[in-house]
Structure 1
């Protein structure tokens, strides 16, 4: 995934925030430890990307 910047279009920023929310919901419903670790890693990366957007903008 390319490094997000504040120059991302609004729909791309919204998609990223939505992705975080979907991962949070998915993580809450998964019981398999391996799958939880995978989702948690994806969630951490997505949250970092969103955080980066808010600090750059």
Structure 2
């Protein structure tokens, strides 16, 4: 995973990267369609935030 560069503090960047990884792991282990949709939506938002971080700086 590329290292984000931005004015966001390192602990906040790490928290976002950790959140994305946790959502990916959770998605891999959930079989309920409703939960999968919810997690996919959260993951999409988190990935968009990561992409924004990567394009800053």
Offset at 1:40? 0.2
Q: Does 1:37 align with 2:31?
A: no
Q: Does 1:19 align with 2:6?
A: no
Query: TM-score, normalised on structure 1?
Result: 0.88
Query: TM-score, normalised on structure 2?
Result: 0.88
- Corresponding residue of 1:55: 55
Aligned equivalents of 2:22, 2:54: Cα separation in 1: 19
Which 4+ runs in 1 deviate beyond 6 A?
Answer: none
Offset at 1:15? 0.4
Give the unaligned 5+ runs of structure 2: 1-5
- Corresponding residue of 1:10: 10
Offset at 1:7? 1.5
Give the unaligned 5+ runs of structure 1: 1-5
Offset at 1:51? 0.6
